[in-house]
Amino acid sequence: SSKEWRNYYIYWSKKDFCGLSKVVVPRESLWMPDIIIEEMTEKDKNVPSPFVTLNNYGWVEYRDDKFVVSTCKMNIFNFPFDIQRCNITFRSISYSDEELLFFMKKDSTIITKESNDNIRMQYEWKFLNMSVTEKKVHNFYTNQTVVVYTITMKRKSALYVVNFLLPILFFLCLDFASLLMPIGGDKISFKITVLLAVTVMQLILIEILPFTSSRIPLIVIYCIGVFALMLSSLIETIFVNYLMEKDSSSLEDKKESVKLQIIKTSSIASTCDEMTDQTPSMCKGGSSSQLFLAMEKVSDELGEIKKIVLDKESEEKKEGYWTGVAKKIDKIFSILYVLAAILFLSVVFSVWLFKSNLPK
């Protein structure tokens, strides 16, 4: 940067000095204003120029290039579509307005154009504009002018969108696709895998998100919201799978009862056969009534077994009660899940776009 001021005690005529209008003198030989930058956090490493340029009307020009390392309070609520404004404040250490006055260009358009030719934003920032304002500071019964240059810059968000926002959106679409899968252990495993992938993305977010604000950024709300939606979908799948397993367990119990009745009937028939072979007299005469009762009981048991088998076959063809309830719950939840996800994403991205398009 270049600073100029006028020393009213210096003047010469060019005619008296061979037309000489400018001269370079050591900076220690003239008075210089004590201007500092308030936001500097490290000492300037550049070596200051040892000379100043003096013209015949007393104007002193000093080229002072500084390497400024400063602090800037950032608002990352709209990360990675945020616009940041950083101030560079110039003031005098000891002089008041009665002793030192600041003169600067106040047209923001001209300042922005000149700054755009000199400022080269690196990495993830894009320079937008620069403006200047004056502030009056009261200090020990004296007034002092403070000059504040405000640099407005915007974060380049393309890499964050491609490497972070879109992958999480793709994982949510995968979870949508899992709604078409049949209910079972494979569907639960698939949903858990996708949920773990979103968890890994959240760990990456901790590394890239600057911790400079107490307000929760939108990108964190976006990640937590997607995680909560996918978690609710996983819990619903587990619950529906539990309801369908209730029908399966009841069907297995009926099969076991049929097997027991068949075994019992077979044992009765075999017992009667053994009695007939060993003591034929017991199956004749006085024991004929007992044999008739046994055979009638076997016939009844076979009839019941036939009825149970037929009922079992019809139940296998027809859905169980809990299976029907589970499918209804799954269908209703799928519709609500998709609608809730679309509504959530619409609100988050609309707020992002609204914040990004606010007037600068």
Per-residue pLDDT reduced to its tens digit, 262-301 = 455 455 445 444 444 444 444 444 445 555 555 556 566 6
Residue recorded with tokens 């500084």: 66
Domain 74-156, CATH among 2.70.170.10, 1.20.58.100, 3.40.1190.20, 3.40.50.300: 2.70.170.10
Distance (Å, whole) CA 337 – CA 346: 14
Structure tokens at 288: 């004929």
Query: Model's pTM, two decimal places?
Result: 0.70
Amino acid letter, 90: F
pLDDT at position 309 is 52
Sign of CA dihedral 166, 168, 174, 178: negative
pLDDT at position 336 is 95
With a cut of 50, list the residues of the chain below it in pLDDT: 251, 255, 258-260, 262, 265, 268-269, 271-287, 315-318, 359-360
pLDDT at position 287 is 47
pLDDT at position 286 is 44
pLDDT at position 14 is 87
- Under 8 Å between Cβ of 245 and 188: no
* CB-count burial class (<10 Å; 0-12, 13-18, 19+) for 221: middle
* SS3 (DSSP) at 183: coil
